[in-house]
Amino acid sequence: MIPEPAGEGLVERVREALATVHDPEIPSVSIVDLGLVETVRADEAGRVEVELLPTFTGCPALDIIALEAERAVRATPGVRSAEVRFVLHPAWTTDRISPEGRRRLREFGIAPPAPSAARPAPDVACPFCGSKDTVVESAFGPTRCRSIYYCRACRNPFEKIKEV
């Protein structure tokens, strides 16, 4: 394990590189904005370690995310070696999604999860028209982390990230 905080400039460059890695299931949002990046360590020799948090155990996108993250880290100037791995502690929660990530989810047509301070979840706003006249169509969406909703105002179906 690399001690902290050597290679601080390199750590910042690696974080910038990780911000270019997008979730393969939601390509408008980076893994940084989703809050998946837990730790980045670097030493003066250019060795880098990155710890990522999985959103849901068994998420089929994890292997792709790790591969793309490692590719981005290795392409960062000053990196001589890189190790990217998923860790289970602390557990990822939807509170880790940045305000920018929440905005990008809405723009992509996915309702972001309610912050923990607002739970139980308030009425879900439609990401297309903003109406809260929405209903759950199915608790089970295309992935384990999403549900399907329907907006009665604009009559669009949409997905919502489940609160964790």
Q: Per-residue pLDDT for 79 more than 60?
A: yes
Domain extents in the chain = 8-86, 110-161
CATH level 3 topology of 8-86: GMP Synthetase; Chain A, domain 3 (3.30.300)
Residue 4 is predicted with a pLDDT of: 44
Q: pLDDT tens digits, residue range 87-105?
A: 999 999 999 999 999 999 9
Q: Is the pLDDT higher at 123 or at 51?
A: 51
Q: Is the pLDDT higher at 160 or at 120?
A: 160
pTM for the structure as a whole = 0.86
* CA distances to 19, 32, 90, 96 from 79, in Å: 16, 19, 26, 27
| CB contact at 8 A, 15 and 33 | no
* CA distances to 11, 47, 98, 101, 129 from 33, in Å: 17, 24, 5, 5, 23
Phi-psi region of 155 (alpha: psi -120 to 50; beta: other; left: phi over 0): left
For β-strands 26-30 and 22-23, DSSP reports them as: antiparallel
The span from the CA of 69 to the CA of 142, in Å, is 24
Question: How many Å from the N-terminal Cα to the C-terminal Cα in the chain?
Answer: 30
Q: pLDDT tens digits, residue range 105-124?
A: 999 999 999 887 766 667 89
